[in-house]
Amino acid sequence: MEQHRLHLLVCAGTGCVANQSFKIKEELEKEIQKKGLSDEVKVITTGCQGFCERGPIVIVKPGDIFYQQVKEKDIPLLVEEHLLKGRPVEKLMYIPSKKEPPVQKMMDIGFFKHQRLVVLKNRGRLDPENIDEYIGFGGYQALEKALSEMTPENIIDQMKISGLRGRGGAGFPTGRKWEFCKKAEDPTKYIVCNADEGDPGAFMDRSILESDPHAVIEGMIIGAYAIGAEKGFIYVRSEYPLAVKRLKIALLQAEDYGLLGENILGTRLNFSIDIIQGAGAFVCGEETALLASVEGNVGRPRPRPPYPAEKGLWGKPTNINNVETWANVPGIISRGGKWFASIGTETSKGTKIFSLVGKINNTGLVEVPMGITLREIIYDIGGGVPNKKKFKAVQTGGPSGGCLPEEMLDLPIDYDSLTKAGSIMGSGGMIVLDEDTCMVDLTRYFLKFTVEESCGKCTPCRVGTRNMVDILDKITEGRAVMEDLEKLEVLARTVKATALCGLGQTAPNPVLTTLKYFRDEFEAHILKKFCPALVCRNLIEFYVIEEKCTGCQRCVSVCPTGAITGPRSQPHNLDPDKCIKCRACYEICRFDAIAGNAIIIKSGEEE
């Protein structure tokens, strides 16, 4: 067996891959070869480390030295200094802020320190395309335990004790769901993994599939044993080619080892898994639409009851769970439901993965125990809002969720507390917004998404969401009256109450929560034609402050319509009739001009 003194783990999640991490691996290996270190240093690619803001990421083990934003040109230095001479390279390390020193070890970095990796425990420490590494880290032991020591009833008991709730967003207790399916009379049953992950900005499931696909597969096999199914499907959105590739490899490897197929591990369990790819419809994340799509029909939801546990694929009892839910199963089975229940809150057990994005310093994927507060995630892990901007709100749950303002920052994250506050947990999207985000515009963005993705079957969603967008358009364009706001609210409530499926029922959530917490912004847009965040084009005007303008002509060179004119060294003029509000002049003055503050945006002014 090979023994290397150092391992270099190069992150190969989609984000870092897009940042050339495969090239980095190649170059590292070349350089290591050049320096004659091939027998001592091994380079492997792993799944997503989660700290996507700082990719490409290279971790050196042992020692857990964390290098970020590694470029090709840094490699000779890295190999020379750290690998040969044993001196970690400071300039490649993470620096929390200008005043603080670089942080050497991964677990000392705020982003990682406060996380608790349960589902993602293998991320970044193994090659997802090698089943041996998964097994080496204790993989498939839960399956072994389940098949040799437990009955299906035992397993379902443990699932119920664990308190695991569906991670896809609805939060239905998984143990009970499995029980319903198991109790169904029809002997033919199916297991489905929902990997459609349609929320814009969400990439939790993608990460799990790219970093640790075997965790999901193991979970599904255990589920098949507990429920009594012989066939499973993983429905992955086709926009995830890397995840599909890694899944395919993982499935083949598992089959090779007798972990899938007939007589798994020598028992009477037969179970096989097929991958079905989606075709670009957000609505196919809804379970009945997903099942319709697997059957080859168009992805349109159908009324429930009957629920899939009773009548699912081809009329048979079907248990469908989210990727993250499945990935939690092996842990629960090997360490016991009680252990899982010890993490989290009274009603929400375990951990949850969030994709922390938006106006935040440390963008990336985080796994935290339930019960952690929003403040801790945003500030301790996320590093707060960049550029000295003021925090405004955090949006959770994607287009089905809501925005929570500063007052709610100490809210513990748990299914029920978020719902009570007016938002939802959703699949784990968490978008941080600062003072430069217009809440009305944000709401309109989410509603436009829903309008496009609506399947069109039921009247409230098909027509209602479109009308909501129309009203929001009116508000952002300064054409609305207060009556429109009432109309919007009544419409939102009606759509929420009467839509056929989860898409329609949660589509009005952005409207209802922003109205609850940021009603003043809506009223400002309507009554004063004022956009506080200075975003809505029809309501803002750009001005050059003559006294501050040095005439450097930076803005003149970038203005696409020639709205700004003026000779060198003379204060420039901005013609509002030609201005298309593209912000190019504003940005360039702030960041790359002499004056730095000569152009301002105003809103709500009388003509």
Which stretches of the chain bind another protein, using CB under 8 A? 281, 283, 298, 300, 302-303, 305, 451-460, 462-464, 466-467, 470, 487, 490-491, 494, 497-500, 505
Minimum CB separation from another protein for residue 455, in Å? 5
Minimum CB separation from another protein for residue 456, in Å? 4
Angular region, 599: left φ>0, alpha ψ -120 to 50, beta rest = beta
Kindly tell me which of 494 and 561 has the beta carbon lying closer to another protein.
Answer: 494
For residue 484, CA distances in Å to 428, 466, 474 come to 32, 14, 9
Minimum CB separation from another protein for residue 415, in Å? 16
Q: Which of 593, 531, 601 is nearest to 566 (CA)?
A: 593
Minimum CB separation from another protein for residue 187, in Å? 20
Please name the residues in contact with 1: beta carbons below 8 A apart, sequence gap of 6 or more: none
Whole-angstrom Cα distance, residue 257 to residue 255?
5
Minimum CB separation from another protein for residue 179, in Å? 20
Kindly tell me which of 452 and 546 has the beta carbon lying closer to another protein.
Answer: 452
Kindly tell me which of 366 and 491 has the beta carbon lying closer to another protein.
Answer: 491
Whole-angstrom Cα distance, residue 178 to residue 183?
9
Q: Which of 285, 598, 233 is nearest to 455 (CA)?
A: 285
Kindly tell me which of 24 and 309 has the beta carbon lying closer to another protein.
Answer: 309
**Phi, psi for residue 475 in degrees, rounded to 5:** -65, -45
Beta-strand ranges (E) seen in 370-501 are 391-396, 402-405, 429-434
**The Cα angle at residue 524 between residues 541 and 588, in degrees rounded to 5:** 30
Kindly tell me which of 287 and 453 has the beta carbon lying closer to another protein.
Answer: 453
Kindly tell me which of 263 and 297 has the beta carbon lying closer to another protein.
Answer: 297
Minimum CB separation from another protein for residue 468, in Å? 10
Whole-angstrom Cα distance, residue 607 to residue 95?
48
Q: Which helix (H) or strand (E) is 8 found in, with range? A: strand 6-11
| 239: exposed, middle or buried (Cβ count in 10 Å: 0-12, 13-18, 19+) | middle
Residue type, 88: P
Residue type, 284: C
Kindly tell me which of 445 and 586 has the beta carbon lying closer to another protein.
Answer: 445
Minimum CB separation from another protein for residue 537, in Å? 21
Minimum CB separation from another protein for residue 406, in Å? 32
Kindly tell me which of 365 and 458 has the beta carbon lying closer to another protein.
Answer: 458
